[in-house]
Amino acid sequence: MSENPGGTPPRDDKQPAGTSGAPGEPSTPDVPTVPDEPTTPDIPAVPDESSVPDAPEAPDAPPSLAKAESAAPEPPAPTYQPPAAPSYAPPPAAAYPPPAAAATPPPAAGGYPPPPPGGYAPPQAGGYPSAPPPGGGYPAPQPSPLGEAFSYGWNAFTRSGGVFIAATLIWLIAGGVVLFLVTLIFGGFASLFENDDNTPRIGLSIGFLVVAAVFYLILFLVQAAFVRASLKVTEGRRPELADFFRFENSTNLVLTALLLTAVNIVVSLVSWIPLLGQLVAFAVNLFLLFTLWFVVDKQLSPVDALRSSFELVRANLANTLLFYLLGVVILIAGALLCGIGLLVAAPVVLVATSYFYKRLLGEPIAPVA
């Protein structure tokens, strides 16, 4: 663009033609037109209900929740079944011999045989076997036979004490008369063998042995009579006075009395030795305690009776030793009462010995009649 000093101002290309470029009166500006009110946009038509898509269905509740919401059904019946009856077949008829009369009876159809004594019962259907009896099936401990024996002897004396006392007195009188006569005869016989200085010789020894032999013979015969009566008590019968003077199996009885007499004479000679002789005498009398009981009760010979008594005592040494000691104490206590206590102590000890003898053999004992 070139400068135009003092000339006509340059035309504006943007100025419309026919207008003068000189400034004139100011023109009134055009009044702006009021803009049209904005049109309200059309409200979209509400679609038809048929055209509205269905809402998605809610998912089904979990099975556990559905069961919780619904009522709890009744529990199903147990599916287990009781065990069926045993399907095994019985053994062939010819396989085993028929059981004896005392054998266990055969079981019922589909059942169990009864349990053997001391065993366990069969298990119940669908359950558990019953508990064993207390103590592992063993019997309850029984009281000591020592106390039972002497209690039995005392009860027998309270029932039949008069008969025992009468028999004891008769035998004491008869035995005393015999011993007096024997002592008188053999005492005079021994005096014939005395020398001048009054020193006894062999005659005194012979007289002593004869008197001792007669004493032991009478003692064992009387004891055998009381053994018979006491065994009758253990059978549940009352003894009679005649039972104390009745001797059955008399031959073996007399031979046994003679054998025991010889043994006791030998023992009496040894018993003079301090302590040792007394222990020997005690042991011999302990092991031969039941000799007369085997002769009277089992009708054994003298030798067999001695052997049986020894074996029975050896098999039950502890109990027999205690019983023998208690019996000796009772007899000594009776003798200390001026001998009158023996009328009670001797029958009680003899009946108690019969009870103890049968108890050791395992034989039945009847109550005191």
- Name the band, by pLDDT with cuts 50, 70 and 90, for residue 303: very high
Q: Evaluate whether residue 128 is within a structural domain.
A: no
Query: According to DSSP H, which parts of 249-316 are helical?
Result: 250-270, 276-287, 291-298, 302-315
What Cα–Cα distance (Å) separates residue 283 from each residue in 111, 273, 310, 320? 59, 15, 11, 12
Domain membership flag for residue 325? yes
pLDDT at 37: 52
Give the burial class of 260: count Cβ atoms within 10 A of its Cβ; 0-12 exposed, 13-18 middle, 19 or more buried.
buried
Q: CA nearest 355: which of 308, 310, 326, 323?
A: 323
228, part of any domain:
yes
Are 91 and 101 a contacting pair, CB within 8 Å?
A: no
Confirm whether 203 is domain-assigned. Answer: yes
Question: Number of folded domains in the chain?
Answer: 1
Within 13 A of 320's CA, how many CA atoms are on the CB side? 23
The answer to whether the pTM exceeds 0.85 is no
Q: Is residue 274 part of a domain?
A: yes
Q: Please return the burial class of 52, using the count of CB atoms within 10 Å of its CB with bins 0-12, 13-18 and 19+.
A: exposed
How confident is the prediction for the chain on average, in pLDDT?
Answer: 73
82 domain residue, yes or no: no
Write out the E strands in the chain: none
Q: Assess if residue 215 is contained within a domain.
A: yes
Give residue 337's pLDDT.
86
Torsion, CA 357, CA 363, CA 365, CA 366, rounded to 10: -140
Does position 352 have pLDDT exceeding 70, yes or no?
A: yes
Report helix, strand or coil for 90. coil
Residue 63, domain member (yes or no)? no
Contact 180, 160 (CB under 8 A): no
Q: Which residue has the higher pLDDT, 254 or 52?
A: 254
Residue 294: closest CA among 283, 306, 285: 306
Domain that holds residue 151: 145-361
Residues 126-155 pLDDT 10s: 444 444 444 444 444 455 688 899 999 999
